Structure formats: C-alpha cells, structure tokens
Structure 1
Amino acid sequence: MWLLHITDTDTIELEEFADNCIPPYAILSHTWGPNEVLFEDMHPSNQTSVQLKEGYVKLRGCCTMAKSRGFEYAWIDTCCIDKRSSAELSEAINSMYRWYQAAKECYVYPADVSREGYKAFWWTRYKERETFFTSKWFIFFNRHWVEVGTKVTLCYEIAKRTRSQERFLRGQDDLDTSSVAQRMAWAAGRETTRIEDRAYSLLGIFGIHHPVQPSR
C-alpha cells in the first residue's frame, strides 16, 4: 500500500508499506477533477511542476488537515495507486473497502459545497439547504476545508442522502445483517465516468474479491 508521507519540512512523498506494517493514516473521499495529481506526478523530480496541477490544492489541503490532526500519512486514490500496473490496480480495487475501513479518519471533500452552502445547511430551513443536499459527495468538509460535521453528528442527513440506515452508520448493526436490496440501494445513486467503476464499488459491500481485467 502506498501512502503520502507528510514530512516535518512540509514535503509530501510516496512511501510503500507491506500489509502487516501500515502506520495510522487519514484517507480522502472525493470526486475526481479534470487535472488530478497522479502516481507518476509524485516522483521527486516533479515536485515543482506537480504544484501547478489543479488537483494539488486538494492534495495539499488533505495532507495539511491530516498533519494538523496528528497524522504523518494520508491516502488519496488519485496518486496512491499506480494505475499503469494492472496487477496493482486490481489489488487496489479489491482492497479499497478495507483501506477505507482501516483508516483512522476519513475526510470527505465535496468540492461543490461552498462556504455559503455550509452556512445555509446549518442556519436555514430544510428547503434552503440545496447546495449541501445536492452535493455529489456528502460530509465532513466543504471546499474551503471548513468542517461541516461528523458521521455521528450528521447521521440522519447521511442516511437520507445515501439511502442507508442509521443503525449501520452508527455501528449498531453489522453490515452482514443487511439485505441484498439494502446494499444495492446504497450504490444506486453513485455516478461514475466508467460504468465498471460503479460495479467495483459493490465488491467491498458484498465482500467479494474479483480479478480486474485491464481496459483495452
């Protein structure tokens, strides 16, 4: 597993770990933009040019947040998976659910929720919360990295947005006790650029390991 190492000098470097010695890390949940930082961009020789990419602002924001909360490591799917390697990509897709589950903290970054949307969500009536409820991704921080809340404090809203049930979000019931219909409903509203990515998201929910064929 590759992780972003946030050093004391504020540089960000990729570091690889075996499964039995992975350090505590924060993880980012987000939607991909048009100019993300990729695995190959993180080579030390690209440290200057990578900062010019639009996705670097998000990467830096995640790492800054992680460091401020006591973490030396973070994981982001855009740059922590070498997608040029079909074997590594297959492993990553099948391990994704476990990696999110093992993270000490998860930062969800909805880039389409503004500071104004954040205030509207907290201080106005239900019908005026549009910028928050229509966000593709739903919780924790707005695009200015202002904290919105946690899975606990916003459990009702998350359940409503994702068609899930509060008892699973709160950990009161194990995922294995949910029905097939319930699990399918959780993925029903997901939008992806590639249709196979929508299918891959079901692997962890159903506890399936499946070899992934590279795109042709």
Structure 2
Amino acid sequence: MRLIDVDAFLDLESRIRDETLSSVEVLKELDDASTDYAILSHRWGDEVSYEEVIQLTKVDNRDEIRRRSGYLKIMKSCEQSKSDGLNWLWADTCCIDKRSSAELSEAINSMFRWYENSKRCYAYLHDTSVFPTTRDYVSFRGSNGWPEWFSRGWTLQELIAPKDIQFFNRDWKLIGDKGSLASKLQEITRVPVSVLKNGLSSQRSSVAQIVSWAADRRATRVEDRAYSLMGLLDVNMPMLYGEGKKAFQRLQLEVIRMSNDQSIFAWDPEGKNRQTTSVLADDPSLFRDCHDIVKMVPKEFNEELPSLWKSDEEFLTMPEDQGSLAFTVTNAGIQIWLPL
C-alpha cells in the first residue's frame, strides 16, 4: 500500500509556509502487515488527489490546493498521527492513483484489510461539534438524523474493520472512541456491540445480517453500494463502473460461489417487496429487515426445529451432511438444497 510519510508531509507544509521549498518525497510503498500506520475515515468533499500531492512543490495552484478542506484533513490527520507516535498515514484521497483502474481495483479489494491492520483510525465527522446522542432531523436532514458519516456505504467497513477508532468533530477535537461509544454506535448503525468491539470473527454473522447493516446507506455511484460490501462479505471481484445495479447481482453470485450461507436468499423476510423476477435481491435495501436472521449448521437446525413445530405430528430432520452441499448457479437458475 502507498502511505504518507507523516514527518515528510508536515515538513513540506512548513517549508511551503516559509517559502524554502525543496523536493520532498511524501508518499512511499510499504507492506500493511509489517507497518504501524494510522488511517483516515471521512466523508469526501473538496479533496486533494494523488497527483496533486506529489507535485505540491511544483504546481502553480499550490495555495489553492492548501486552502481545500481535503488538504486540511490530511494535515490534521498527520498531526494527530505524529502525536500518537505513528509515522505513517493512509488516506484514500491521495494514497491511490485513481488514474489507474488496476490500482483502484486492487485498493478497493484490499481496503477492508488495510483498515483492519491499521493501528488507529481517525473518523472525521465534518458536520457536528459533539458526538450525537439522539436523532436530529433538523441538523442532519439528509442523513437519517445522524451525522453524514453514518449514512455512507464505504464507512460501514471503516467502522467495523479497525480495532481502534477515534472520532473527531468538525474542528478536529476528539469526541469519543469506538470502544466507549459501542452501545450508541449500535443504536445508530444496527451493528451489534460484539462486532464493534471484537470484529466480525467474534460473532457468526450471516450474510443477510451483514447486508442489512448497509440497507439504508448511500453511495455516490450505484455500483459502490455493492463494492463497499466486498470486504465485509470476504469476497473479491473486479469492478465494472457503468454496470449499475448489476454490481449487486454479481456480488451475490460471488458470495454464493464462496459460501454456503443460505441466508443470502432470505431478503425481504416480511414480504413487503413485490419483486419476483429473481431469487437474488436487486438492492441491499431489500435486506433491511434481516438483522435477526442467523445461519445454522444442520445440527443446530435440527435441535431448534422442535421448538418451532406447532403440532404433534412427526417431522423429518435435515441430514447433517446437507449443510455442506454446494449451490450450483447456471443460466437456468440456482440449484440448492433447502429444508422446507
């Protein structure tokens, strides 16, 4: 991954202010598994790109770049990293050369791991002074009554993956951390406290549950509604911007290829949607009511079945080796064994 050298960036900013410019290398390729680094999570705005950062000592519009809110985010993140004893910082705005589709695809497929491997994540809430305790539809009208950070597709994995998240307000004042705010974060995001504190591996979350957490989140491009879930669902696939809602169909097929979790077919459990054209959902919003759907191995299913049976009639149990049977996807449909 490409990281910002915190000392080099802050030194460059000092040299620009003092008008003692010289060439400084602020970005470097390093291994995420063996490097201690901080990582930024934020809502995109007026950002600074990779090519602008590497040419800061040369470009004529340097002062205009430095006035952007995106530049201030990088500088403040670097200052916080230095204060925390972390010499490297990753920010998606300038650490990915988005002119390269191959690099962009690799970065998005690696992003969950990068957040997971970070030593500390800085979550910047640009539209609030305090961490919210109740919904405020007046202040946050366009984001379901909470700061906008909580309504975006990409920030879901950025909330779950890092072990240590510190939340900063619009003025870059610390307003809380993930551990101490876990109960409130569960209320806001529907992500269980156990997952927030210990990660996805701590709870055997079903595919349906995970997608339900993203049901009301938005993205600038419709494809990102699917791509932002790849890391959470532990799948990789190429990105094809322009495919629209087909991206979510492709994501589900990739999950089916990699997993035998049948909850992926349990979308719209209350039958509110009239979609009947496919066994797959058109959009993550159709999983909104799936937060209580759990996955079970056949043994657990057989043990639970008697408590759900409403008559004295005998019933057949599910063969315990059936849970390992693969799904088969063809042009004619999906072949699957299900207990009915």
Say whether the fold is shared (TM-score over 0.5).
yes
Q: Is the 8 A contact 1:5 1:15 kept in 2?
A: yes
Partner of 2:72: 57
Distance, in Å, in 1 between the alignment partners of 2:121 and 2:49 is 20
Partner of 2:40: 28
- Secondary structure in 2 matching 1:55: helix
Q: Is the 8 A contact 1:140 1:150 kept in 2?
A: yes
1:183 is the counterpart of 2:198:
no
* TM-fit CA distance, 1:181: 1.8
Q: Which amino acid in structure 2 is aligned with residue 17 of structure 1?
A: L
Partner of 1:111: 126
Distance, in Å, in 1 between the alignment partners of 2:123 and 2:172 is 10
- Secondary structure in 1 matching 2:232: helix
- Secondary structure in 2 matching 1:148: strand
Distance, in Å, in 1 between the alignment partners of 2:3 and 2:200 is 31
Q: Which amino acid in structure 2 is aligned with residue 78 of structure 1?
A: T
Partner of 1:41: 52
Distance, in Å, in 2 between the alignment partners of 1:68 and 1:129 is 35
Q: Which amino acid in structure 2 is aligned with residue 169 of structure 1?
A: L
| CA spacing shift, 1:19–1:100, aligned 2, 3 Å | closer
Partner of 1:11: 11
Distance, in Å, in 2 between the alignment partners of 1:99 and 1:175 is 19
- Secondary structure in 2 matching 1:160: helix
Of 78-87 and 41-50, deviating more is 41-50
- Select the structure of larger CA radius of gyration: 2
Partner of 2:252: none
Q: Which has the higher helix share?
A: 1
TM superposition score normalised by structure 2: 0.55
* TM-fit CA distance, 1:62: 1.1
* TM-fit CA distance, 1:161: 1.1
Distance, in Å, in 1 between the alignment partners of 2:189 and 2:221 is 20
Of 155-164 and 175-184, deviating more is 175-184
Distance, in Å, in 1 between the alignment partners of 2:182 and 2:101 is 37
Partner of 2:267: none
Q: Is the 8 A contact 2:47 2:93 kept in 1?
A: yes
RMSD: 2.6
Flag the structure with more relative contact order, 1 or 2, with Cα contacts below 8 A and sequence separation at least 6.
Answer: 1
Report % sequence identity.
Answer: 42
Distance, in Å, in 2 between the alignment partners of 1:26 and 1:173 is 21
TM superposition score normalised by structure 1: 0.85
1:192 is the counterpart of 2:219:
yes
Distance, in Å, in 1 between the alignment partners of 2:216 and 2:193 is 18
2:97 pairs with one of 45, 64, 82: 82
User: Deviations for 1:52-72, whole angstroms, at most 9, x for unmatched residues?
Assistant: 333111111111111111111
* TM-fit CA distance, 1:210: 0.5
Distance, in Å, in 2 between the alignment partners of 1:157 and 1:130 is 20
* TM-fit CA distance, 1:3: 0.6
User: Deviations for 1:145-195, whole angstroms, at most 9, x for unmatched residues?
Assistant: 111111110001111111111111121762661012210112122211111
Which runs of no fewer than 5 residues in structure 1 stay unpaired?
A: none
Distance, in Å, in 2 between the alignment partners of 1:204 and 1:9 is 30
1:201 pairs with one of 225, 228, 242: 228
